[in-house]
A and B are shown apart, each in its own frame.
Chain A
Amino acid sequence: MGSTFGGLNIMTLGMSAQQLSQNTTGHNVANASTEGYSRQTVNLVTTTPQQIYTANGMSMAGTGVTTASITRARDFLVDTQYWQKNSTKNYWSTQGDVLAKVESVFNDTKNTGIQNAIELFHTALGTLASDASEDSARTAAREAANALVETLQTSGNNLVSQANDASSRIDTQITQVNSLSKQIAALNKQIVSQEATGATANDLRDQRDKLVDELSVLTEVNVSEEKNGSYTVIISGGVSLVQGDHATDLTVEHEKNTPYGYDTTKVTTLNGTVNVNFKNGSIASLTDLRDTTINGYLADLDNLAQSLLQDFNTQHKQGQTKDLTAADNFFGVTGVDYTDSTQDPTTMASPASWLSILKVNEKFYETNGVNLIAAASADAGGTADGTNATELKNWLVDDPDTASVSLGKNSLSSYYASMVSGVGVQTQQAKNMTTNQTVIFDSVATTRESVSGVSMDEELSNMIKFQQAYGACAKMLATMDSMLEFLINIR
């Protein structure tokens, strides 16, 4: 036989359980658009039944409901996938963003780029060949050459500033990594202490997962959960960023690239004893862009500059000035033989790029300096001979028979054309990869949202369910109360 007032107790438990559920539903609805929030559910269980003696022996009578736990809807496997795909997606989207800027340096579709400068120089030399006695034709050739030099150097400077930008972004992102790992470590500590009592620290865990989400934008992370509930975060190369409540600090060392002079970064940890190499994520992407892609295009531009200083000058020296004397360098400094290995600026004591020393011979700017341009061939009879100017003009666009040190069997023009298509292919690939990776990432993100996201309709229907259950409990209580009233009023 159960207790007289046992029923009241059951209903009290029922009402508070429904109220807790209703509150949790409210918590879900309130956090529907909170980033990183996963919906929570109250898990109800029956309380320990009571043994009662009936006419037929022992029976178990229910004693009501209680809350076993409040859990969040989360799938660690999906999270792991999410982090992995997020890193890959951000690797490619960073590639796409930066390459779009690099590509604009080599954009000749609007006739403003290097190709246009080459063509203007080509035309100027052609005009000079037809009218070599005319000073204005010589001046035009000098200025067109100067424009080409400036275009090449501006392009080089653009690339260098892109590389510098990549380095400073890496700098900021390492700071972010350090800040994130510290926060994760702090949350690890809180979660471990709160969960020691057996509860699940749902909201703290959501926060911690969100921090890992942010970290996975920057680099590929390998996360494992320890038995006590703390996360161990390892990045590529086995560097453990977070272990328990300890976060490893990463330091950035700044250097300068030789010979191009852009800023480089070296990321180390443990007082500089271990080098950190990132994989995937935006940091790795920026590093690759700077050290491989942009460096490669700078090297290409340098080859163009080198060929102007070496091969163009060699052809120029085969001609004669307007005064029919032997010609010297067109580019660079008079008297310097750039084909001599001792004049290679990249191997000098303080290395410089070919591009940085490229300039139109300063002597051309002195009085009657344009006369030093060798339009005439070695066996010219007078000033009107433009044979060498034609040779120079052809050198710009005709592939040579013998391979040159800098451009191989390419003319300046065709070498540049292959650079342009190279940039185009690379940028196109980055764009396509970004699209593909975004699709893949979106599908994982959708799966995660499907597991953890708050659905309004679902919550509202739960709301009605809990409301009705609460109401029913209250009604039960009232009924029991009136039953007791009968009992009490018996005379």
Chain B
Amino acid sequence: MRVTNNMMSTQFLSGYQTSLSRMSDIQEKIAASKNINRPSDNPVGAARSLQFTAATSANELFTQNANDAISWMKTSDTNLSAIVTTVTNIKTAVSSAISANPTSSYDAIAKQVDQMMNELVLAGNAQVGGRYVFSGQSDSVEPFTRDETTGVVTYNGTYNGQSGVATAGTITMQIVPGDINTSRDKINLDGSEVFGAIDTTTGVPKIFQDLLTIKQHLEDIQTGANGVTADTLSSDLGTLDTDSDYIISAQTTVGARQKSYQTILERLAVDATTIDTDATNNDGFNVAKASIESQLAQNAYNTLLSVGANVLPKSLADYL
């Protein structure tokens, strides 16, 4: 084949282009620390990397939810402890009223019970981040309000089973993918789960109704009205025991649930690392490999330039 000077310069230029574009490719990869910088670099890998970013963002969402849920349940737990303590204190006070006492101390105990009901209302109105934790789905409504004259405590939140809707009081925070599962994703206790069934007509929770009755008994026993005797107070103690057990079992539920959220939170952290690793493997970028490739490309480029510089300018004219 006949070779001409133009052929050599064209060939040199096309080699130069190839070599330079290879260097620029490698440089781009190193600069971004990524092998896949556009879909056409690796169509399958690019689509898969979308899945990994989606998984990462879902993981972040669930982690956020788990943290929120745990903080919610911690608040619930603290306040339930306070409620249990208060109910226990009421029990002690009432049992001290059973032994023969002067009338003035019944009055004092009644006032004490009344005061402790206020404490219960306060604990029942606990908030986390501006949300009432025991208010069911009406988390922006103060759940327990007390009438100052009658002392009646009414519940303003929503509760499971309200108007025939089983989940009317349930707040969920999702920590696993898929549809909401109210028994799995539930994080709250509504007013009825803490203070007993809500009277559908008056809106008064059972435990507050019980306490109001006991307070009335303590007032009546002084005058003997309504046939209230020490026996009545003894049976009231039994009622208080039942109520206390009800709250303790609610607290246990929250504790167990908090534990499981904690476990899932830890697992989410592990998952995040796994997703990161998978995403990195999918991309397959390797600094060492890239530097070697870069070195090779540079060598090829240098060689090309040096050969070109030596061969191209020569012609017969140099020797004539």
Contacts and interface: CB of A to CB of B under 8 A. Distances in A.
Interface of A: 32-33, 99-100, 103-104, 106-109, 111, 115-116, 119-120, 122-123, 126-127, 129-131, 133-134, 376, 379-387, 390-391, 394, 397-398, 413, 416-418, 420-428, 431, 442, 445-446, 449-451, 453-458, 460-461, 464
B194 to A, nearest CB: 16
A108 B53 contact: yes
A131 B129 CA distance: 10
A122 B57 contact: yes
Nearest to B164: A379
Given A384-B131, A456-B5, A130 B38 contact: no
A454 B4 contact: yes
Nearest to B61: A126
A33 B43 contact: no
Nearest to B34: A109
30 contacts: A33-B6, A104-B38, A106-B39, A109-B49, A120-B57, A123-B60, A130-B64, A130-B172, A382-B168, A383-B137, A383-B139, A385-B137, A416-B50, A418-B47, A420-B50, A423-B39, A423-B40, A424-B38, A442-B14, A450-B2, A450-B7, A451-B2, A453-B2, A453-B6, A453-B7, A455-B2, A456-B315, A456-B317, A458-B4, A464-B320
Contacts of B170: 381, 385
List the 3 shortest-distance A-B pairs measured between CB atoms, nearest first: A381-B168, A382-B137, A424-B39
A442 B12 CA distance: 12
A120 B57 CA distance: 8
Given A381-B169, A385-B171, A420-B39, 5 more contacts: A109-B49, A129-B172, A417-B50, A420-B50, A456-B316
A383 B130 CA distance: 14
A27 B167 CA distance: 96
Contact of A460 (B2, B37, B169, B320): B320
Contact of B44 (A421, A453, A460, A461): A421
Contacts of A398: 177-178
B124 interface: no
Interface string B127-148: 0001100011111110000000
A413 B171 contact: no
Given A126-B61, A133-B139, A450-B3, A107 B316 contact: no
Contacts of B173: 129-130
A420 B47 contact: yes
A42 B159 CA distance: 107
Interface of B: 1-7, 10-11, 14, 34, 36-44, 46-47, 49-51, 53-54, 57-58, 60-61, 64-65, 68-69, 130-131, 135-141, 157-159, 162-163, 165, 167-174, 177-180, 315-317, 320
A133 B43 contact: no
A387 B172 contact: yes
Contacts of B1: 450
Nearest to B161: A381
A453 B47 contact: no
Contact of B57 (A123, A446, A457): A123
Contacts of A99: 40
A222 B46 CA distance: 42
Contacts of B37: 109
A32 B174 contact: no
B168 A379 contact: yes
Contacts of B165: 379-381
Contacts of A456: 4-5, 315-317
A417 B169 CA distance: 38
A380 B137 contact: yes
A253 B120 CA distance: 82
Nearest to A456: B315
Contacts of A424: 38-43, 46-47
Contacts of A129: 172-174, 180
Contacts of B5: 32, 453-457
Contact of A390 (B64, B141, B180): B180
Given A424-B42, A442-B14, A119 B54 contact: yes
A127 B64 contact: yes
B64 to A, nearest CB: 7
